[in-house]
Structure 1
Amino acid sequence: MTQPLRLIHLEGNPADAELIDSTLRNAGIPCQTKRVHTREDFLAALRQGGFSLILADTTVPDFDGAAALDLARALHPDVPFLFVSGMQGEEFAVDMMQRGATDYISKQRLGRLVPSVRRTLRELDERLERKRAEDALRMSEKQLRQAQKMEAVGRLAGGLAHDFNNLLTVIMGHSQVLLDELSVGSPIRAKIEEMQKAGERAANLIRQLMAFSRKQPMEPNVLPLNSVIGNVEGMLRRLIGEDIQLVIRPDPHNGHVKADPGQLEQVLMNLVVNARDAMPNGGLLAIETSQVELARTPMHHLHPLPLGHYVKLTVTDTGCGMNTDVLGHLFEPFFTTKEAHKGTGLGLSTVFGIVTTCGGGIDVWSQVGHGTTFDLYFPRATPQATATSTDSPQAQPRQGSEIILLVEDDNGVRDLVRRELLKTGYQVIEAKNGVEACLTATQQNYHVDLLLTDVVMPGMNGRELAEHLAVIKPNLRVLFMSGYLDDISVNSGMDPHRTTFLQKPFTPDLLLRTVRALLDSSASGTGPAHVQTSPPNHTSRTARAS
């Protein structure tokens, strides 16, 4: 059924008003008319809104059509305004059209009314459709600009991750070497441990940047949410300072979630930093967990969820709160209400990205002057059965004697890795890039048991090097290492028994265990490669292209 046309009719003569109304109805245009005949009633109808057309006589008691047109154009400039009046002369009609009237129809020629109304409504529909298309185009352009901005940030983040992860590999590696060499009671041991913790925090910052740019590989595990909060509680207390009271209320029966633990920690830290900044003069910050069953989508939900069982994380602060306009942009990347040097606009958008990637959603309540509450919903997961194991510390990596071709363009990383391999008994041939390594391995015909190579290098990358050497050394095992998180799938399509990937930053212990495990693995029943009878000296050889 066609919706009736809602219109305002300014007309002082009831008979004329009825005639005009019946003319429209008889033409098949159902109308819901609000007739007014005074300035006050006309102004009240304009302010009430909800109409699509205005019809007006040029003269009513104590009011005139020209003044009515000015009021209508001031309050509703896009609503069509048709004069339906007695003869006022062509000059008057032209003047009204120039001031914004849509048409001028004489009461003596009402036959023009229906075609004019239909044409006016058709033009209005076209105008509204065009506006919708323009709005959609602007939104698409905004999304494109945002996507381009995100892509630029992603490229920047990837480059930063590579460089920082190389630096952190050297820092954390040497600090681990120092710790291994120091006695338990050494007075400088605590300082070196703090150095190593700082490196781990820096690595977490890189992962946060990667999570924002969607380049951080997820490693989801089924784990209790309470344990994640417990792991970072100390850090959170240091983060908020002494003026803010932190209260943690974990539900003892809180369930498990399937998520990357590092990214859950990022979610907590970002929400806590946001709450801290909202309470510059101190306040209360509460973190709670609970189990809920969603029978309906929460009222304020920004990401609709399927009904079912969820684990809820609630973060509440007593800070300054937010208005509805800020709430509408809350999770947009780069949106921030903080000063330029205090906020990037990445924190809450990262939270939103991580939570939705986990299949969850976010519900936000906030009121200016009354604080903010974030409710994060994660699908409840079934705990996985874990095999029993002893709590004894892992044994030191087993000594080796195999020959390893080490290819790394970062001098600091290459030096650290070479010394750790030599210390464990391996024989090392080193090269600064893929081209040098390829020339050395082919021209001097070295026997190599394992290729340990960076992925991104000038001239020839690690994957290309591995594929080239596989032709002449089919049993070669390959360990890729990289600071680029995109490279985690570099060994895709290669023999999984002979290739693996090591993400920078890594500790010497992890490096040596990974090397040993790969060398001890068997591929297609051939077993590990054998050491040649005349190996190079048990020292490092730096490859040089001849």
Structure 2
Amino acid sequence: MPPAALSRLDVALLAALALVSAVLLFWATGSKILAAGFVAGLAVAAGGVLLVRRLFPTAAGGEAATPDWTMLRQAVNHDDVAIAVTDRTGRMVCANDLFATWMGGFVTPPGLPVDGRGAELLKNAGRTAWRDGEGRADDLAIGPLRLRAQVMRTGQAEDYLVWRFAAIERFDLVAELTRHLGGPAGRTLGHAGVMAALVNSEGRLRAANEAFLLRALGEEDARHYAGRDVAAMLRIDDGGALYFAREGDRATPVRLIQIPLVSSDSNSPVLLAMLDEEMGPADRGTAQTYVETLLSLLPFGLALVDRDGRFLYMNRAFKRAANLPEAKMPRYPGDIVVGEDKGPLADMIRRHSSGQQVGGDLSIRLAGQSGDPVSMRVVGVRGLGEAAVLLSLKDSSEESRLKRQVAQASKMQAVGQLAGGVAHDFNNILTAVLGACDLMLMRHTPGDSDYDDIQQIRSNANRAASLTRQLLAFSRQQTLRPQILQLPDVISEVSHLLKRLIGETVQLSVHHGRGLGAVRADPGQLEQVIINLAVNARDAMPGGGTLTIETYPVSATDVRQMGNEFMPPADYCALKVSDTGTGIPADILPKIFEPFFTTKDVGKGTGLGLSTVYGIIKQSAGFIFADSKPGEGTSFTIYLPVHRVAGDAPAAPQPPAKPKKSQWGSGTILLVEDEDMVRAVAERALARAGYTVVTAAQGEEGLERFAGMEKVDLVISDVVMPTMDGSAMVRAMRARRPGLPVLFMSGYAEEQLRQSIDIDNVSFLPKPFSVAQLAEATSAALDEAAHRGGRDG
């Protein structure tokens, strides 16, 4: 029955009961006034109830609005906590994105893909939450990921469960202490009078510094100490003083300080620190002074806190991990964390300040830093004067930086491989387009109706070829033609073009240092580097400015003083391009060499300029670094290694380029190419140049054609082909005719292919190529073979 109908039935029933009650009251008393007053009172009460139900329909009806789960899902999105909500029927009603990432999808708890007994632990935690309101499951594993789960019952009717999963950061403090106690840190502690040892839960020795071993075991037994009982090494006299047992009655008493490292379970190791008490029992504060000396020598971030929650001492490692100034020590631990973490940290310190030797971990976010959580360990201590709590903070800044560098390098490598593969396939298409245009231009002359259209197609194909060269340059797979050259000569060749590119509002200033050595690089690609940097500098100076290009030598000593861990010490020639423009913000500077990243407006940049520069320099065995401050300009410094020949003598200058070969010739050519369109264009081009051409679609077919030919003057083959590649085919052919001339063509870089080909006396033609370039390369290969006397007659 609907609520409205139920309400009307209730009113009719109440009215009937009120009328009967009034009649009975009149019959009993005989007073009409009393009966009428009774009826009026009931009517007023009923009216009040109806008024309340109209003013507060939800409260009166006991019904709640259906929650907006979409809005709730956005509200629970966290970067470090995975959250899911289930109802009493076990159905998933909401989860954030991190939950789906960790669990491999929106899987309903407790049936998650956890390892071992994790599913059983989660099921028990859910039952506990339904019964007690909260449940926990620690040390869950999903592959390498370690998680801690908290389950809470919530909702107005408490008919929902909230599942919260947080990652557990593990730091093997025991392994680090074991390593340091036996190294320089342990010797430094010994020089300061601190004897330190690491003891397992059974009281047996795991590691110790040299000072402890010499006092406890002596020089002869110090080498074989692992597993010995520490209790047997010590003795206590009637007055409660502690001594080393082997030192006898004339031993010096020692003070023992126990520091638990990980937890209070049965397998918890303990760090023992022993200090001599030559002056008798230590007065107030002496133990704390010794401990502060101990903490200052350890490489871990450690601090002491008193029972009121105030800092007593922190070592340099703690200040460095918390990013605090050297001369500043905050008053409370809450001063070094963000506002949301002050309460949990204060509560944990308060729980551990009772002196119980137990510890716990807390994930906090440090104030003034990037917001990435770090792990702080809180341990209760005693016997250290005013100190009640020991805090341990791990400096993870270097680890985070290395993780970001590895992720960035992996991303750049993956994008480079993708770019190289796309450029290789695209080069085959461009080779066919350019070849077809060249063949059509042979049949059309300027003035024909189709001549301009063909030229436009060829021009756009060349632009596309330039784009693929940029992709190959970024992925370091382009074909370079390195020469021995001087940087000032390259800058002189390109300076006239730079003046036109940068405009009249930008002044060009060039300075060359003395004693520059020769470098080995592709002059055309090096000019492209300078042009790209100059154009970027021009765009950064819209109101005008100065573009400065400098060259200067950098010795191996200078490199060592720079302290750059990426550049090996050697002699370099430096090329520095600087501007006085707007500069690059600090958050954008690490991204400038990424492909397709640009700050220019849409249509004004491809985002490949600086990534191309980076690829060319790295492929030339050089290094490039950017330095910029907003409003102060930007400078790019390129370091190219000095090229030397045998001994230490400078390399001789590159011989002049050979004259172009003729585009006509004669002879029989075997053409092997798996791309039909490239093979068809190359066949037509070679036939027009006067050659007799026999074609094959792949390596095995090429061998069959070769076996049936009486005369082969040259083999032109692609390198990468299915079934049998070009290099395997050529080896089989040369096994029959050792002097066979070969011209390889490929969209991959020549240097990359020569490492895998390993065949002597072969020529190389990079794709895409024009008809003229194919004819010239063919003529050059035949002439070179004739000069070697290897042409097949």
Mapped partners of 2:423, 2:335: distance in 1:
55
Deviation of 1:419 after TM superposition, in Å, equals: 2.4
- Could you say which residue in structure 2 is the equivalent of 1:53? 304
- Could you say which residue in structure 1 is the equivalent of 2:425? 163
Is the 1:270–1:348 contact (alpha carbons within 8 Å) kept by the matching residues of 2?
Answer: yes
Partner amino acid, structure 2, of 1:53: L
CA offset digits 1:384-443 (Å, max 9, x no partner): 2455789xx64624521x22122223344323322232223211112333354444445x
Question: Residues 335, 399 of structure 1: CA spacing in aligned structure 2 closer, same or farther, 3 A cutoff?
Answer: closer
Mapped partners of 1:301, 1:345: distance in 2:
31
Mapped partners of 2:385, 2:615: distance in 1:
53
Is the 2:673–2:698 contact (alpha carbons within 8 Å) kept by the matching residues of 1?
Answer: yes
Pairing 1:104–2:350 present: no
Pairing 1:415–2:680 present: yes
Pairing 1:451–2:715 present: yes
> Given the alignment, which residue of 384, 387, 393 partners 2:652?
384
> Given the alignment, which residue of 100, 114, 121 partners 2:384?
114
CA offset digits 1:132-165 (Å, max 9, x no partner): 7xx63x6665455444433432332223222332
Mapped partners of 1:357, 1:220: distance in 2:
11
Deviation of 1:380 after TM superposition, in Å, equals: 4.5
Question: Residues 164, 474 of structure 1: CA spacing in aligned structure 2 closer, same or farther, 3 A cutoff?
Answer: same
Pairing 1:503–2:754 present: no
Alignment of 1:66-215 (within 5 A): 72-77=332-337, 97-98=347-348, 102-105=352-355, 112-114=382-384, 120=390, 124=392, 128=394, 131=396, 136=399, 142-143=404-405, 145-173=407-435, 202-215=464-477
Question: Residues 161, 480 of structure 1: CA spacing in aligned structure 2 closer, same or farther, 3 A cutoff?
Answer: same
Mapped partners of 1:491, 1:359: distance in 2:
20
Alignment of 1:341-380 (within 5 A): 347-355=609-617, 358=620, 360-362=622-624, 364-380=626-642
CA offset digits 1:314-358 (Å, max 9, x no partner): 322232213444445555667665678877765445534544554
Q: Structure 1 length normalisation: TM-score? A: 0.65
> Given the alignment, which residue of 514, 517, 535 partners 2:777?
514
Partner amino acid, structure 1, of 2:354: Y
- Could you say which residue in structure 2 is the equivalent of 1:463? 727
Is the 2:487–2:551 contact (alpha carbons within 8 Å) kept by the matching residues of 1?
Answer: no
> Given the alignment, which residue of 314, 318, 334 partners 2:576?
314
Partner amino acid, structure 2, of 1:413: V
CA offset digits 1:26-62 (Å, max 9, x no partner): 6684689xxxxxxxxxxxxxxxxx9833335489xxx
Is the 2:355–2:381 contact (alpha carbons within 8 Å) kept by the matching residues of 1?
Answer: no
Mapped partners of 2:464, 2:498: distance in 1:
16
Is the 1:336–1:345 contact (alpha carbons within 8 Å) kept by the matching residues of 2?
Answer: yes
Deviation of 1:286 after TM superposition, in Å, equals: 1.0
Mapped partners of 1:482, 1:151: distance in 2:
22
Question: Residues 273, 520 of structure 1: CA spacing in aligned structure 2 closer, same or farther, 3 A cutoff?
Answer: closer
Deviates more, 1:187-196 or 1:221-230: 187-196
> Given the alignment, which residue of 653, 670, 691 partners 1:405?
670
Mapped partners of 2:421, 2:716: distance in 1:
21
Question: Residues 21, 297 of structure 1: CA spacing in aligned structure 2 closer, same or farther, 3 A cutoff?
Answer: farther
Is the 2:716–2:743 contact (alpha carbons within 8 Å) kept by the matching residues of 1?
Answer: yes
Question: Residues 477, 459 of structure 1: CA spacing in aligned structure 2 closer, same or farther, 3 A cutoff?
Answer: same
Deviation of 1:372 after TM superposition, in Å, equals: 1.5
Mapped partners of 1:4, 1:336: distance in 2:
60
CA offset digits 1:246-290 (Å, max 9, x no partner): 5252539784432222432342243234334434x3423514233
Partner amino acid, structure 2, of 1:52: A
CA offset digits 1:218-271 (Å, max 9, x no partner): 44322132343354456656765x585252525397844322224323422432
- Could you say which residue in structure 1 is the equivalent of 2:692? 427
Question: Residues 458, 236 of structure 1: CA spacing in aligned structure 2 closer, same or farther, 3 A cutoff?
Answer: farther
Question: Residues 51, 466 of structure 1: CA spacing in aligned structure 2 closer, same or farther, 3 A cutoff?
Answer: closer
- Could you say which residue in structure 2 is the equivalent of 1:480? 744
Is the 1:452–1:481 contact (alpha carbons within 8 Å) kept by the matching residues of 2?
Answer: yes
Mapped partners of 1:247, 1:320: distance in 2:
17
Mapped partners of 1:302, 1:331: distance in 2:
19
Partner SS state of residue 211, structure 1: helix
User: Between Structure 1 and Structure 2, how many residues are aligned?
Assistant: 457
CA offset digits 1:471-520 (Å, max 9, x no partner): 566654332211122663277333x24x3322112343443343334345
User: Considering only aligned residues, what root-mean-square deviation do their CA atoms show, in Å?
Assistant: 5.0
Aligned residues with identical type, % of pairs: 35
The structure showing larger relative contact order (alpha-carbon pairs under 8 Å, at least 6 residues apart) is 1
- Could you say which residue in structure 1 is the equivalent of 2:252? none
CA offset digits 1:79-129 (Å, max 9, x no partner): xxxxxxxxxxxxxxx9975465642359xxx992339969836xx2xx527
- Could you say which residue in structure 1 is the equivalent of 2:549? 288
Question: Residues 357, 473 of structure 1: CA spacing in aligned structure 2 closer, same or farther, 3 A cutoff?
Answer: closer
Mapped partners of 2:526, 2:765: distance in 1:
22
Question: Residues 299, 201 of structure 1: CA spacing in aligned structure 2 closer, same or farther, 3 A cutoff?
Answer: farther
Is the 2:432–2:677 contact (alpha carbons within 8 Å) kept by the matching residues of 1?
Answer: yes
Partner SS state of residue 263, structure 1: helix
Partner amino acid, structure 2, of 1:508: V
Alignment of 1:222-237 (within 5 A): 222-233=484-495, 236=498
Deviates more, 1:188-197 or 1:290-299: 188-197
Consecutive unaligned residues in structure 1, runs of 5 or more? 6-17, 33-49, 60-69, 79-93, 531-546
Is the 1:488–1:501 contact (alpha carbons within 8 Å) kept by the matching residues of 2?
Answer: no
Question: Residues 413, 227 of structure 1: CA spacing in aligned structure 2 closer, same or farther, 3 A cutoff?
Answer: farther
Question: Residues 188, 311 of structure 1: CA spacing in aligned structure 2 closer, same or farther, 3 A cutoff?
Answer: farther
Is the 1:491–1:500 contact (alpha carbons within 8 Å) kept by the matching residues of 2?
Answer: no
Mapped partners of 2:696, 2:545: distance in 1:
56
Partner amino acid, structure 2, of 1:455: V
Partner SS state of residue 222, structure 1: strand
Partner amino acid, structure 2, of 1:268: I
Mapped partners of 1:27, 1:491: distance in 2:
62
Mapped partners of 2:605, 2:383: distance in 1:
59
Question: Residues 247, 504 of structure 1: CA spacing in aligned structure 2 closer, same or farther, 3 A cutoff?
Answer: same
Is the 2:519–2:573 contact (alpha carbons within 8 Å) kept by the matching residues of 1?
Answer: yes
Partner amino acid, structure 1, of 2:394: L
Partner amino acid, structure 2, of 1:399: G
- Could you say which residue in structure 2 is the equivalent of 1:541? none
Is the 2:295–2:302 contact (alpha carbons within 8 Å) kept by the matching residues of 1?
Answer: no
Is the 1:226–1:250 contact (alpha carbons within 8 Å) kept by the matching residues of 2?
Answer: no
Deviates more, 1:287-296 or 1:476-485: 287-296
Is the 2:547–2:577 contact (alpha carbons within 8 Å) kept by the matching residues of 1?
Answer: yes
Deviates more, 1:468-477 or 1:362-371: 468-477
Is the 1:24–1:31 contact (alpha carbons within 8 Å) kept by the matching residues of 2?
Answer: no
Partner amino acid, structure 2, of 1:432: A
